[in-house]
Structure 1
Amino acid sequence: MSAFADLSADQRADLAEQQLSLYEELKARGLKLDITRGKPSSSQLDLSNALLTTPISPKSADGTDVRNYGGLNGLIELRQIFAELLNTTPDLLLAGDNSSLSLMHDTIAFAMLHGLPGGEPWARQKVRFICPVPGYDRHFAICQDLGIEMIPVDLGDHGPDLDEVRELAADPSVKGMWAVPMYANPTGVTFDEATTRALLSMPAADDFRIMWDNAYALHHLTADEPVPLDVISLAAEEGHPDRVFTYASTSKVTFAGDGVAFMGGSRANLDWYLSHYGKRAIGPDKVNQLRHATWFKNADGVRALMRKHRALIEPKFALVLETLQRRLGKYGVATWTKPAGGYFVTLDVVPGTATRVVALAKEAGIALTPAGASHPLGHDPYDRTIRIAPTFPSLGELTEAMDGLATCVLVAALEQDPTHQAATHEAAPSQ
């Protein structure tokens, strides 16, 4: 069980020959495997097929005709279900259409155009966002698209580096921070209450907002099912009731393309949002919302469905962790997360080799999320982090992909050894 650094020159030579041979065999198999994005598998989507044929009344519980215009807040019966699940109250939760990313984009776009309550439009100011890393590439893409400067801050086991966040937030040009507080994308860490309260209480601009994306709050991988923090109430307790916007969706609960998204916040925040959203739309898809509420019945109906999801995806996560340990554990060339929930495993390889690993995998027919995607502008200064998304492929496909990925990690690590650079250069594809 020797670490890679402890191998003798002869042992490294033998290992290089072995891994290069495995890599050539991998390329010869003509694989077409994809572990790039955290998509539910067809088997997971099948769990909700009955949703498509669920009969519903034309009217909701409060008499709203769901076929007609109106209802910017979304249906109360669905908001009641998810308020319980997200640990908030229905009056502080909106139900929208299928994409929480759209709600996040609209929030920031409205702030750019109109400003938040009591503040000037962000578009007239220098605007910067704190971005915990590794983080979610689609969050960063919103900032990049709207011209917002991103400041990476290291994400630890309980949340971002508080000292650095406090120092940055003291600058009035820093207007917000991204957060995936439960089973974070891609590391799987969960913010604890102490860290959360510190973020909510720290001095910051009046129009500073934390974009609290609870995308994975219901996606447990163990029998332990912790409840999300009631961050809206905590913000009020800490003296900054408007500091946080919260988001969630059923994209990985029912159907990714035909689900329901949710947005929460203080009454002042929600009224501000609705004042602008009401100019863009006349109401969400209430037929789909009522279909979801009717089929779920209550919060326990959602919990029961999520346990079925867990039964399908937990073995895939177990396979990923077993393969990484078996293939890489004894060499000390990589570390990886062991998430208790969410959709990803984060793999950190030898610094300076993540881009190379992704290129090697692509040449062998294994598609990975681009190296650097977990950092603003796609730039990982250490070139070491790779996000693994195990949910979409079958177990058989995932077995092949993970075994191939492990081979690529070892080949890339060995290429850094001057003793074997010539041999690896001849056998492996160029970047």
Structure 2
Amino acid sequence: MTSQPNAPLSSLSPDDLAAFRAAKQEEYAALQARGLKLDLTRGKPSSAQLDLSDALLSLPSTTKDRSGTDVRNYGGLEGLAELREIFAELLWVEVDQVVCGGNSSLTMMHQVLVDLLLHGGPGSERPWKDEPSIRFVCPVPGYDRHFSMLADFGIEMLTVDMNEDGPDVDAVAALVRDDPSVKGMWIVPTYANPSGAVCSQEVAAALLSMPTAAPDFRVFWDNAYAFHHLTEDEAKSADALSIAAASGHPDRPIMFASTSKITFAGAGVSVLAASAANKAWYLKHLAMASIGPDKINHLRHVEFFGSPDGVRAHMRKHREIIAPKFDAVDAALTSALEGLDVAQWTRPTGGYFVNLDVLDGTASRVVALASQAGIALTPAGASYPLGQDPRDRNIRLAPTFPVLAEVETAMAGVATCVALAAAERLQASRGTSEDS
């Protein structure tokens, strides 16, 4: 090849592009021959991360909370006070705004949505199910489980771009200002899934104060990664509840968080924080489904962490394990793809994912190539409602679960797949252009 390896692929001559593709096909054949079986599909904690919390298995050391109440019994619907205090400080909210529940914040989100559908919430004129239509604003790329939850209820999803400082505020404002059927929106404000974006104070203030046609418009503020820093420069989450209250819309945000990626993914604790009216409304309906959460698990976590600083110290241990994996993703992609102008990827400072945008029309092909080489990736477009990425370019990378060596191997393979798919696409487009 006469062109430099890092020249934009689209600038190569037909002969050089053909030679590049042939070289990548050789690399890919060698990759297939290795018989790999690697999985980067879900953002799960690794075994090493789970091991950090094994002391939980011998806790709690007592059966009573600090008030002397036996945690083995019924009651305490809003959760153990000691645990609520820890998360109130971590989430920049007041203790009396917090409810602690079971192991899944997704369950809390689902419960809130179901209750809004069946009953309406504070400020609602009627149950949402009785509205002519319901629509939600969905920043993209975003969290697939948020979208699948809406799809399960037949709620229409309206997409807006997720920028580096949060959702496109002007696009959101245009959707919510005059249409009362737009009842809510999702946002992962800190280290967003999958882009790693952090919602700025300015964007948060705009979202929580902008006029909406629906009087009961809700922002599902999913702070899933608020404590999941990858560097010492730790982003601070916007104080959504205070911002909303100050702007005259105290009931707009409902905040969620959990320890699913902090302690045990299947046996952690979840958190909801909301205005007094929203909290009372939530507990009223929760009381029909529960007589109290797992307070033994609550007490176990209180003893394990001890304080908010205990959580922070624990998360630094997580960072030591997973930050090198994110560095490995960047190193592999940079080494193989930088300068080719066929891919862009994020370098997040927190969270669990790397967002990879490849050449338009090639994401599905990249995922298929990787699969045929024994590397499982999240389906292309999974970060869009109904899995439909109109540009077929987005892939969510999840490097936390495999060991570091596997991440390095997998990402080198992914980079080969990205380059090969791009070369195929460019050759095909040139052939079409020449034929026409």
TM-score band by shorter chain is over 0.9
1:198 aligns with 2:206: yes
The answer (yes or no) to whether the contact 2:137–2:186 under 8 Å persists in 1 is yes
Moved over 4 A (4+): 419-422
1:58 aligns with 2:63: yes
Q: Deviations over 1:180-208 (max 9, x none)?
A: 00000000001111111111111111111
Aligned to 2:3: none
The alpha carbon displacement at 1:146 in A equals 1.1
1:188 paired residue among 176, 193, 196: 196
- For residues 331-346 of structure 1, what are the structure 2 equivalents within 5 Å? 331-346=340-355
2:330 paired residue among 306, 311, 321: 321
The answer (yes or no) to whether the contact 1:414–1:420 under 8 Å persists in 2 is no
The alpha carbon displacement at 1:6 in A equals 1.8
The answer (yes or no) to whether the contact 1:98–1:256 under 8 Å persists in 2 is yes
Q: Distance in 2 between matches of 1:420 and 1:104?
A: 44
2:135 paired residue among 121, 128, 131: 128
Aligned to 1:391: 400
1:361 aligns with 2:361: no
SS state at 1:324 partner:
helix
2:295 paired residue among 286, 292, 295: 286
SS state at 2:150 partner:
helix
Q: Deviations over 1:57-82 (max 9, x none)?
A: 21111222110111110001011111
Q: In 2 relative to 1, CA 419–232 (structure 1 residues): closer, same or farther, beyond 3 Å?
A: closer
1:222 aligns with 2:231: yes
Runs of 5+ unmatched residues, structure 1: 423-431
The answer (yes or no) to whether the contact 1:85–1:227 under 8 Å persists in 2 is no
Q: Distance in 1 between matches of 2:346 and 2:38?
A: 22
Q: Deviations over 1:62-113 (max 9, x none)?
A: 2221101111100010111111111111110110000000000000011111
Aligned to 2:186: 178
The alpha carbon displacement at 1:419 in A equals 6.6
The alpha carbon displacement at 1:417 in A equals 2.7
Q: Distance in 2 between matches of 1:162 and 1:227?
A: 20
Aligned sequence identity (%): 57
- For residues 25-64 of structure 1, what are the structure 2 equivalents within 5 Å? 25-64=30-69
Q: Deviations over 1:326-375 (max 9, x none)?
A: 00002111000010100000000000110111111111111100011100
The answer (yes or no) to whether the contact 1:23–1:408 under 8 Å persists in 2 is yes
Q: In 2 relative to 1, CA 296–8 (structure 1 residues): closer, same or farther, beyond 3 Å?
A: same
Aligned to 1:77: 82
1:352 paired residue among 344, 350, 361: 361
| Matched AA of 1:284 | P
| Matched AA of 1:268 | A
The answer (yes or no) to whether the contact 1:343–1:391 under 8 Å persists in 2 is yes
The answer (yes or no) to whether the contact 2:38–2:375 under 8 Å persists in 1 is yes
Q: In 2 relative to 1, CA 202–419 (structure 1 residues): closer, same or farther, beyond 3 Å?
A: closer
The alpha carbon displacement at 1:118 in A equals 3.4
2:24 paired residue among 19, 25, 30: 19
Q: Deviations over 1:215-236 (max 9, x none)?
A: 0000000011233222101100
Q: Distance in 2 between matches of 1:118 and 1:183?
A: 31
The answer (yes or no) to whether the contact 1:352–1:383 under 8 Å persists in 2 is yes
2:95 paired residue among 79, 83, 90: 90
- Per the normalisation by structure 1, the TM-score is 0.96
Q: Distance in 2 between matches of 1:270 and 1:221?
A: 32
SS state at 2:288 partner:
helix
Aligned to 2:121: 116
Q: Distance in 1 between matches of 2:427 and 2:51?
A: 51
Q: Distance in 2 between matches of 1:19 and 1:408?
A: 8
SS state at 1:280 partner:
coil
Q: Distance in 2 between matches of 1:55 and 1:284?
A: 16
- For residues 299-314 of structure 1, what are the structure 2 equivalents within 5 Å? 299-314=308-323
> Considering only aligned residues, what root-mean-square deviation do their CA atoms show, in Å?
1.2
Runs of 5+ unmatched residues, structure 2: 1-5, 432-436
Q: Distance in 2 between matches of 1:43 and 1:384?
A: 32
SS state at 1:77 partner:
helix
The answer (yes or no) to whether the contact 1:214–1:247 under 8 Å persists in 2 is yes
